[in-house]
Structure 1
């Protein structure tokens, strides 16, 4: 079970965060600061798994971005790394060599991709083609939606 997913740059700025458990705003802020500082302070030779409080943090660095998930302590670390890698590969295909600026200027699309990959803290779809097709359909519908501002039901 994934409790939250964070995406931060090397300076510690949060670029994407998705919460799958109820935390107060104060708890979220505290957790973000602790997890990001914990992951950024580790050397590149260190293991990508951290036992932290009652959770396990699994993180991976891609270029200047850190992808971090918080899960149960008994969850398999390698599956967590695969989920992160799966998400990054889909973002890479969707944006064409994803970078931090893609996430900053197209954060809605990044959240759409994430919502297709993980729902309620669990891996939803492992097919990259299926996810890319679904996100492409969403993009098509958004581009071709009438601009009236009202929905006709």
Structure 2
């Protein structure tokens, strides 16, 4: 199924649910676990035999790490830094299972990656300056 169709179908299914209904929905032989935080919805598709409460805890853990990294995570943080949100998710999960439960460990790994990115930018900038001066 096309990714846009999946998003549209799941969004319609989840957004129309009342706030007092449970956070689990059956969809195409899968179970969708979702949690709302302010205006953000976080969803995970799981097999029917997976533990829904564990998935809610994983979603909550992910949001806590995002909050720690972005301050108070909002939609714009995820839109303009989606690569960072995916990197954080990759540090938390491996093959759909919780890999790292320590928020400080994840924060340290993300900080190390940010340092590598900054170093690479500085090196690229200095190389660009050297090339610019050499071509004058």
- Please classify the TM superposition score into its range, dividing by the shorter chain length: 0.7 to 0.9
Alignment of 1:1-153 (within 5 A): 26-145=1-120, 146-147=123-124, 148=127
Q: 1: CA distance between counterparts of 2:60 and 2:87?
A: 17
Larger helix share, 1 or 2: 2
Aligned residue pairs total: 124
- Normalising by structure 2, we get a TM-score of 0.86
Deviates more, 1:72-81 or 1:104-113: 104-113
If the length of structure 1 is used for normalisation, what is the TM-score?
A: 0.76
Residue 115 of structure 1: how far off its partner (Å): 1.0
Structure 1 segments unaligned to the other structure (5+ residues): 1-25
Gaps of 5+ in 2: 129-136
SS at match of 2:100: coil
Greater RCO (CA < 8 Å, at least 6 residues apart): 1
Structure with the bigger percentage of strand: 1
Residue-by-residue CA offset, 1:76-119 (whole Å, 9 max, x unaligned): 11001001000000000001111111111222211111111112
State the match for 1:6 in structure 2: none
